[in-house]
Amino acid sequence: MVLKKLANEKDLKLCVVMVGLPARGKSFISQKIVRYLSWLSINCKCFNVGNYRRVLGVDNPKYGFFDFDNLNSYNIREKALKLAFEDMLSWFDDATDNKVAIIDATNSTRERRNWIIENCNKNNVHPMFLESWCDDSETIMANVKDIAITSPDYDGMDEKLAEDDFMKRIENYQNVYSTLNTTDDKDVTFVKLINISHEIIINKIQTYLQSRIVFYVMNIRIKPKCIWLSRHGESIYNVEQKIGGDSSLSERGLKYASKLKSLIKENVASNDEQNLSVWTSTLTRTQETAQYLPYKKLEWKALDELDAGVCDGMTYEEIEEIYPEDFKARDEDKYEYRYRGGESYRDVVIRLEPVIMELERQENVLIITHQAVLRCIYAYFMNVPKEESPWVSIPLHTLIKLEPRAYGTKVTRIKANIPAVSTYKEKGTSHVGESSSAKGSHNLLVNAPEINQN
């Protein structure tokens, strides 16, 4: 009988152990999991063994360092793993809410993996191995190029030389690499993604949390891509300072809609343009904003604006007057506050699940949606803590380009230079509009490169 006793275990700590050759997207996947789980309010932290090796003084190792016959360097690498592991254990001890840790390293030998299993068992941590296996040279080369440019190991090195060195490093790993398989590892909890999820092997999943992580990584594609975000153009309700509704665009909003086409054309690489698809909500203002775009379009109910319930169609001043308690409660905990008959930010995050999963699977998508929904999506890609996410400033008539990378998401915002009202409401006031202080910690777009489009 298949007994799944773990399902009822208390305070289970989970350690996701990455497995795979260099340039298989391990760090990328690790960071993705951290962002996704944090977004769902599950505490998660990644421990990158390479960083510990650098702490031990090996900053720019050449490929020879990764020769497994080189005993000296092998010991250093082993020490780095142990340091990472110790840090992980103390992080677990810090708070009972610290639930998921990720050990990001190649972990390519069975010997190493056994060491991890043994030490996890000793410390009541449950390991789950996550292997990214890939023999598609195109994907691998794209990753190699990316690492040669971005990895701290190759700081200041010529790109071409870095690539060559990295290829040799991979070779060194290849000599000792043993992939997870269903014979030797049949009793181990593991997931193996083969060639970007063309085939996936899921073995001995034992808890809900594990299954949730697997469900998520099934959707991840490690190919580089761009996500484009835009609010709808300025709507009549925006001008009237009313929230919600299903109004049409204002004159200026319509201008943005017609400019959006050229804005995209000028900024999207031509290869990407061919397979660009546009997702809108089911509300009029997003569809009007997308009307001139010559791409495939999908309407998502899940992208509809946060439902303001009884407050739909009111101005913030009216809400403050009619529902003063609600108004205050919302400012105090904007993430959890639910409008009467409506939704909270948390509710929106939950209903966005299908959109986020599909988004991970797709290559290039432009999402035209609403302020609160965009804040949630933005928080997901940028790892914005949930207390801050409802306060992120996302101005109208601005196209946001996101490029998810292994160590973070690159943001570019492209202003259409068409004036629009501000719909940003600061804490503690019913006035809308961004004061200079609002551009402080909440405005996470401020540090991003900005392009003005004329």
Partner 1 sequence: MTSSNTAMDNQDAKQSKENNTNYMARTTKRWVEPGIRLSPKHSNNGDAVHEPVFDVEDFISPGQLYSTESGCLFHAGRILIVLVGLPATSKTLLSVAITRYTRWLGVRTESFHLSKYTKTNTNIPSFLSDEFSTVEGAEFKKEIINKVTNDMIKFFDNGKGQIAIYDALNIRKSERADIKKTFENNNVKVLFVESIVTDPNLMTKNIELAIQSEDYKNWGKHEAIKDYTRRITDNESLYERMSPIEGVSYIKYLNFGERIIMNNTNYGYLVNKIVFFLMNLSNKQGCIYLSRCGRSDSDKYTDDEVLNEEGLKFSEILTKTVIARVKEKGLERKKKAMEFNKNSKDTSVTADPSVNNDDNLNSDSLVVWTAERKRTYDTAKFFKEHGFDVRKRSQLKQLHPGVVADMTMDEIKEKYPNEVEEYERDPYHYRFSRAESYHDLAVRMEPLLLELEHMHNDILIIAHESTLRVLYGYFMACTSLEVPTLDFTRHQLVEISFNPFNNVVTRIPIDI
The C-alpha atoms of residue 236 and residue 56 are separated, in whole angstroms, by 59
Q: 3-state DSSP helix/strand/coil percent for the chain, to nearest 5?
A: 45, 20, 40
CB of residue 343 to partner 1, shortest distance in Å: 8
Radius of gyration of the chain (CA): 24
Q: Which of 11, 10, 28, 12 is nearest to 20 (CA)?
A: 28
The answer to the question of whether 231 is labelled as a binding residue is yes
The C-alpha atoms of residue 335 and residue 154 are separated, in whole angstroms, by 41
> Does residue 175 sit in helix, strand or coil?
coil
What string of DSSP letters covers 43-112? EEEEEEHHHHHHHTT--S--GGGG-TT-HHHHHHHHHHHHHHHHHHHHHHHH-TTEEEEEEES---SHHH
**Is 104 among the catalytic positions?**
yes
CB of residue 305 to partner 1, shortest distance in Å: 8
Residue pointed to by tokens 């409401």: 425
Residues 161-220 that bind partner 1 (CB under 8 A): 182, 186, 197-205, 207-208, 210-212, 214-215, 218-219
What character string, x for contact with partner 1 (CB under 8 A) and - otherwise, covers 224-253?
----------x-xx-xxxx-xxxxx-xxx-
Hey, how many other C-beta atoms are within 10 angstroms of the C-beta on 124? 12
CB closer to partner 1, 131 vs 165: 131
Residue 86 near residue 80, CB atoms below 8 Å: no
- Contact window for partner 1 (CB under 8 A) among 127-135, 307-315, 366-374, 431-439: 307-315
Q: Which of 232, 370, 397, 442 is catalytic?
A: 232
How many binding residues for partner 1 (CB under 8 A)?
69
Task: Tell me the CA distances in angstroms from 392 to 2, 137, 236, 268, 372, one per residue in order.
Answer: 47, 40, 22, 25, 9
Q: Could you say whether residue 157 binds partner 1 (CB under 8 A)?
A: no
Residues 277-296 that bind partner 1 (CB under 8 A): 282-283
CB of residue 341 to partner 1, shortest distance in Å: 7
- DSSP assignment letter at 430: S
Q: How many residues does the chain have?
A: 454
**Is 232 among the catalytic positions?**
yes
Q: Could you say whether residue 98 binds partner 1 (CB under 8 A)?
A: no
The answer to the question of whether 250 is labelled as a binding residue is no
CB of residue 271 to partner 1, shortest distance in Å: 20
Q: Which of 331, 308, 326 is nearest to 429 (CA)?
A: 331
The answer to the question of whether 368 is labelled as a binding residue is no
Residues 8-47 that bind partner 1 (CB under 8 A): 8, 10
Instruction: Choose, by CB under 8 A, the member of 272, 273, 317, 426 that binds partner 1.
Output: 317
- Contact window for partner 1 (CB under 8 A) among 263-271, 351-359, 383-391, 437-445: 351-359
The answer to the question of whether 338 is labelled as a binding residue is no
Residues 352-391 that bind partner 1 (CB under 8 A): 353-354, 357-358, 361
For residue 236, the number of C-alpha atoms closer than 13 Å in the C-beta half-sphere is 8
The C-alpha atoms of residue 29 and residue 34 are separated, in whole angstroms, by 9
By CB under 8 A, name the binding residues for partner 1: 1-5, 7-8, 10, 182, 186, 197-205, 207-208, 210-212, 214-215, 218-219, 234, 236-237, 239-242, 244-248, 250-252, 282-283, 298, 300-302, 304, 307, 312-313, 315, 317-318, 326, 338, 340-341, 343, 347, 350-351, 353-354, 357-358, 361
Catalytic residues: 104, 232, 305
Annotated binding site for substrate: 231-238, 285
